[in-house]
Amino acid sequence: MDGCLTLAGNIPAQSSSLAGEDESALIRRAQHGDRAAFDALVRLYDQQVLRLVLKMVQSPDEARDLYQEAFLKIYRSLSRFRFESRFSTWLYRVVMNVCFDHLRRQKARDEVQGVDSEDSDTDFFQTIADDQPGRDPERTLRASEIRRRIGRALARLGPRERMVFELRHFQGLKLRAIGELCGTSEETAKNSLFRATQKLRLQLGDLV
Amino acid sequence: MNCLQFDESIALYLYDELSEEQRAGFETHLAACAQCGARLEETRRLHRVLSERPSPQPTPELLVQCRAALDDALDRELAGVSWKSLFEQWASTLGAISRLPAAATLALVVLGFTLGWTLRPHSGAVRGGPGNATLSAMGDTDLNNMRINAISQVAPSPQNGEVRITVNAERQMTLEGSLDDPRIRQVLVEAVKGYDNPGIRHDSMEVLARQADEPPVRSALLYAIQNDPNAGVRLDALNAAAQRMEWCPELRQALLNTVEHDRNRGVRVAAIDFLADHADQATLPALERLATRDPDRYVRLKSVRAIRKLQGY
């Protein structure tokens, strides 16, 4: 699953006494209740996980909640990991399910409350400081508007469409890998990608 | 390759997801069709616009906060496991089965001093007589949350100063367990079918969706698709059933009923999309009716696309 290598990233250097211990040994120790081993596993993946969930949510608080929910689920179900696949694949599948469930809850909540993403005033990306403070103010304003429009268009996608598009376009995963991560088929992932692209074209057509 | 197929392949082409044969067909059509070429360029420009989206990086502070919060949550998790084990042993000994929201008849048995003392930090305490016996609680139960409807027996024991009280009561309680436990599943199924809070119905369905092919779950999902008063919950049920349930005549009929009768456009369109994903020719007549007669233009358009897909275009 080459696509997963992109997400897995490089194993960061460890300064703890568990440095150098291979991942399989850590997993086995964590499965037997070794808390330090589980903490070490978390450190191997949590930055990438946090980076991923930040793309799905509207605030750092929500990202923190999803991070916790994902790793608690991993902790509770770790005994069911049988080394039949790569650990990173299994882990990111749990993370994807958590993100997917969050997006569905958000969608249902918005519908119940009659909120259209058009009306939403929460746009996390608006709070990200422009990294070029000396830029032309007009260009800065336009760039900010484009970012807001993109955020809104993405928020209007269905949960599965949003996840597939995020993973394919922004993370660079192959559709086959996305299908496996999301517990669905490559064909379903393709259909979701097609629908997402159509919707984004409609929403952002005047910007292209 | 025709124009419709080209349009459906543009994203795959740009992401290099086409096979060699498909790519050859795509490029042949591209060379011959200026309109499709323009669509391809439009999508390329769309991708360039999307690159304006910033890629938020987790700050060191956020990472530290996340790790600290997880640490606390794991500590609480570990503390909860030991009480859960005690509760499970006790419940299996007494054969306790509880159902929500119906009232349950509980037999509260005052355990021996050692067990009661062990559970005391996590239970509500009821002081007895001078012997200071404590009343054990089940899970998170607090006697203050209990509404006692009747007391049918009070039986003191002269030997050890304990008392057995049989009550008929309604109380809030916390159930914990796996979805593989049919009791847990039954509670969730009843919540989906009848609970008046849409958030609870939604949350219950999310959990149940993992076992969408179990008969009671299947029945609950099909019921919710067609009968839940909340559109968000109907959409969730539809997504769960269509993505995780084996295709079957009951599911097909539920989707057809939805496309024809649901009062929410978003739910109807989602049902059309899922019908289109399954190559079931039996759905064609209904889709043809929608394509020609539905008052909603977008529904008519989606139905036309679904028909084309089913017919292999």
Contact B63 A50 (CB under 8 A): yes
User: How far apart, in whole angstroms, are the C-alpha atoms of residue A105 and residue B68?
Assistant: 26
Task: Give residue A180's Cα distance to chain centre.
Answer: 15
| Chain A: closest CA distance from residue B122 (Å) | 22
Residues of B within 8 A of A76 (CB-CB) are: 77
Residues of A within 8 A of B78 (CB-CB) are: 35
| Chain A: closest CA distance from residue B11 (Å) | 7
> Between A51, A108, A168, which is nearest B232 by CB?
A108
- H runs (alpha helix) in B139-197: 182-194
Domains of chain A, first to last: 2-124+135-207 (1.10.1740.10)
**What is the full per-residue pLDDT of chain B (313 aa) written as tens digits?**
899 999 999 999 999 999 999 999 999 999 999 999 999 999 999 998 888 887 777 888 888 889 988 998 888 887 765 555 555 555 555 554 454 444 444 433 333 333 333 433 333 333 333 433 345 544 445 565 666 666 666 777 767 777 777 777 666 667 878 888 888 888 888 888 877 777 778 888 888 888 888 888 888 889 889 888 888 888 888 888 877 888 888 888 899 999 988 888 888 888 898 888 877 888 888 899 889 988 888 888 888 888 888 887 6
User: How far apart, in Å, are the Cα atoms of B237 and each of A128, A194, B211, B212?
Assistant: 36, 23, 13, 10
Structure-token pair, residue A89: 């694949």
pTM of the model: 0.50
Cβ neighbour number for residue B184 with a 10 Å cutoff: 16
Contact B63 A174 (CB under 8 A): no
Contact B57 A111 (CB under 8 A): no
- H runs (alpha helix) in B60-163: 60-94, 113-119
Contact B43 A201 (CB under 8 A): yes
Q: In chain A, what are the helix, strand and coil shares in percent, each to the nearest 5? A: 70, 0, 30
Residues of B within 8 A of A158 (CB-CB) are: 270
Contact A112 B198 (CB under 8 A): yes
Question: Domain locations in chain B?
Answer: 3-50, 61-171, 182-310
User: How far apart, in whole angstroms, are the C-alpha atoms of residue B188 and residue B207?
Assistant: 8
Contacting residues for B112 by C-beta, under 8 A, at least 6 apart: none
Residue B106 in contact with residue B99, Cβ under 8 Å? no
The partner residues of B251 in beta bridges, in order of sequence, read none
User: How far apart, in whole angstroms, are the C-alpha atoms of residue A14 and residue B122?
Assistant: 38
Structure-token pair, residue B283: 């759905």
Nearest to A82 by CA among A130, A142, A168, A24: A24
Structure-token pair, residue A135: 């830029």
Structure-token pair, residue A50: 């946090």
Contact B74 A54 (CB under 8 A): no
Q: What number is the ipTM of this complex? A: 0.79
* Domain B182-310: CATH architecture, name and number where available: Alpha Horseshoe (1.25)
Among chain A residues, the shortest Cα distance to B45 is held by: A208
Contacting residues for A127 by C-beta, under 8 A, at least 6 apart: none
pLDDT, tens only, A121-151 = 334 444 444 444 455 677 777 878 888 888 8
